[in-house]
């Protein structure tokens, strides 16, 4: 059984930074892509970014490009989402997701496993 546990959420002011972590267990972490999604108030869950199995390929939604960075440490079975220059519109519950494929993807279908989510609140 794959388990994903996010941490690192919190409240920050606009312009601030946070780093989210997602620890994985239950399968060979380094064989699969990982993704981050978010769900804001009154919104559906949406793609934020994804990283391939080797960590050398990433995808981001346009609204976070240049501000967010995804990385992974396969030795620690952990994926990270470093967020800079946070904006109030980044306020959401952030979810880590584990894919069943190796390449990063915007599509939510390949993500078979999900964490419980961590709240990020950005105040103006």
What DSSP letter does each residue of 38-84 carry, written as one string? EE-TT---EEEEEE-TTSS-EEE-GGGTTTEEEEEETTTTEEEEEE-
Banded pLDDT at 58 (limits 50, 70, 90) = very high
pLDDT computed for residue 4 by the predictor: 97
Give the Å distances, CA to CA, from 2 to 58, 105, 114.
Answer: 22, 19, 9
Q: Supply 100's token pair.
A: 């069943």
Which of 94, 86, 96 minimizes the C-alpha distance to 124?
86
The residue whose two tokens read 């080797």 is 54
Contact by Cβ (8 Å): 45, 37:
yes
pLDDT computed for residue 63 by the predictor: 97
pLDDT computed for residue 1 by the predictor: 86
pLDDT computed for residue 96 by the predictor: 98
89 Rama sector, left if φ>0, alpha if ψ -120 to 50, beta otherwise: alpha
Give the rounded percent of residues in the chain with a pLDDT score beyond 90: 96
Q: Is the pLDDT of residue 18 over 90?
A: yes
């Amino acid at each position: 059984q794959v388990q994903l546990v996010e941490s690192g959420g919190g409240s920050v002011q606009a312009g601030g930074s946070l780093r989210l972590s997602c620890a994985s267990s239950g399968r060979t972490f380094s064989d699969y892509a990982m993704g981050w999604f978010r769900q804001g108030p009154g919104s559906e869950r949406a793609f934020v970014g994804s990283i391939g199995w080797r960590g050398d390929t990433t995808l981001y939604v346009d609204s976070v490009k240049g501000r967010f960075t995804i990385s992974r440490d396969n030795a620690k079975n952990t994926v990270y989402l470093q967020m800079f220059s946070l904006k109030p519109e980044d306020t959401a519950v952030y979810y880590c997701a584990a894919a069943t494929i190796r390449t990063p993807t915007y599509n939510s279908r390949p993500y078979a496993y999900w964490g419980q989510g961590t709240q990020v609140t950005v105040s103006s």
